[in-house]
Amino acid sequence: MPSELRDGISELRHVAEDGIASVVECEDWQTTHTRCCDAQAQLVTSTLRVLLQFGQNLLAAGAQASHHPVSAADSVKACVDEAGALLMDLYDAVEFCGTEEENMRHGNVLLGDHSHALTALDEGARCVYAVADAVRQQIFASSEGG
């Protein structure tokens, strides 16, 4: 995995740890949900920033890329998988203290939040996959002599 993605994943872990620490100290649902959403937004934003930087580096390197576009796609997948796991860690840190009905409703809200976050990560990853594919085509064309 390229160093910029390794460093980016390390940054994502710190963002998630800070978010979890923030959520754990809450005592009511409103504050918990607000802090959880803030942490989720920071994690998604940080992940998209890492993916953007990686895509820009990949595109700038073009046919001289130090890593093959297939391994680049694997690296992007690993980054998105890690971000998804960190989101789950964040949601797992939420403690439900209400009635069964309230807990069910709050759990459904978090499930919706999780779905939106994963969709954003997926869209970012698809853009980088497109860049990796363009670089792969550029490498193929240059190896064909055209």
pLDDT-based confidence at residue 65 (cuts at 50, 70, 90): low
Q: What is the pTM of this model?
A: 0.86
**Domain residues of the chain, as ranges?**
3-143
Residue 113 vs residues 29, 67, 76, 122: alpha-carbon distances, Å? 15, 34, 22, 14
- Rounded to an integer, what distance in angstroms lies between the CA atom of residue 56 and that of residue 68? 15
| Cβ count within 10 A of residue 105 | 13
- Return the sign of the alpha-carbon dihedral for residues 104, 106, 112, 118: negative
Query: What's the pLDDT score for residue 3?
Result: 85
Which tens digit of pLDDT belongs to each residue from 6-55? 999 999 999 999 999 999 999 899 999 999 999 999 999 999 999 999 88
Which tens digit of pLDDT belongs to each residue from 124-143? 999 988 888 887 777 777 77
